[in-house]
Amino acid sequence: MADAALVLTGSPSLAPLLARGALLSPFKRPAPDAEFPRTRLVLPGLRVDLARLAAYERVCGFPTGDDALPPTYPHVLGFPLAMRLMSGRDFPLPLLGLVHTSITITRHQAMPATGAYELTVFVAGLAPHRRGTQATVVTEVREGGDVVWESRSTYLARHRTRRPAEASREEPAEAPREEVRKPLPAVAEWRLAEDVGRRYAGASGDRNPIHLHPLTARLFGFPRAIAHGMWTVARCLAAHGTPDSCHVRAQFRAPVLLPATVTYAAGNGRFELRGGDDRIHVTGDVYPT
């Protein structure tokens, strides 16, 4: 758990954090037993920018004008704080190439878009992964002192590992069971435009170059720009629907190269996004709490 709290007076600007993280990345030495920042970042009195929220709702497929925040939007609010932690000198994983592998979300109640909230973000720990080291970042949202929304995201830094036996700790326990489940029935086919990454970046602030343009994506080994993982989850949840009080789990399994045609499938509280070759991009489930 985090040790000390640092209270912020405003949400950090993402652009300089991305630049700092990129500059420091070559000097990072990731390892599961490395030291990591113990600071708990706290941002009180946060108000939602309603124009930015509407842009987010449009690009993700949520209805606009609802008083309640979409279930994934608090991740956008907390992302600058997470980036401040992950771009710092004391965070051992390089920001460049860091892969968002999973997220779990618990929403305890509907969250009015006009409410005032307190954000808390901290690094919960590091763990070995058969492909490198994985960090867990926790985001909490409070209203009137009570936690109304919380999430745990895992981020993977790929590097050579010395202990292959620890590969069993690579993924949450539910992943192997998901592999043997029957395919979910197709619900809709979505044609994703080449500019989805840029439009989501404009609404969310996440301007990672792998999402913006084929040329910048190629610098990181992708033949074309890829969709944001959090956009794919948000788009699935917009189609699936979520109760006011719910728990969401999602795993990012393969990138979506843009433009693309994908199939949204769902059933019995589960959802997935498949490519034209039946490659699984995202799996997840939703259930009331």
pLDDT in tens, the chain (289 residues): 557 999 999 999 998 998 999 999 999 999 999 999 999 999 999 999 999 999 999 999 999 988 899 999 999 999 999 999 999 999 999 998 888 999 999 999 999 999 999 999 999 999 999 989 999 999 999 999 999 999 999 999 988 876 554 444 444 434 444 455 688 999 999 999 999 999 999 999 988 888 999 998 998 888 999 999 999 999 999 999 999 999 999 999 999 999 999 999 999 999 999 998 889 999 999 999 9
How far is it, in rounded angstroms, from Cα 70 to Cα 243?
11
pLDDT of residue 174: 41
Please give the structure tokens belonging to residue 139: 């985001």
Phi, psi of 20 (to 5 degrees): -65, -45
pLDDT of residue 181: 66
Check: CB of residue 12 under 8 Å from CB of residue 132.
no
pLDDT of residue 168: 42
pLDDT of residue 2: 52
Say which amino acid occupies 274: R
pLDDT of residue 11: 95
Count Cα atoms within 13 angstroms, Cβ side, for 200: 31
How far is it, in rounded angstroms, from Cα 132 to Cα 232?
24
Count Cα atoms within 13 angstroms, Cβ side, for 171: 14
Please give the structure tokens belonging to residue 26: 């070559």
How far is it, in rounded angstroms, from Cα 158 to Cα 28?
12
Taking the chain, what is the end-to-end CA distance rounded to the nearest angstrom? 25
Please give the structure tokens belonging to residue 250: 């999602």
Provide the pairing of β-strand 116-129 with 40-47.
antiparallel
The neighbour count for residue 7, using CB atoms within 10 Å, is: 10
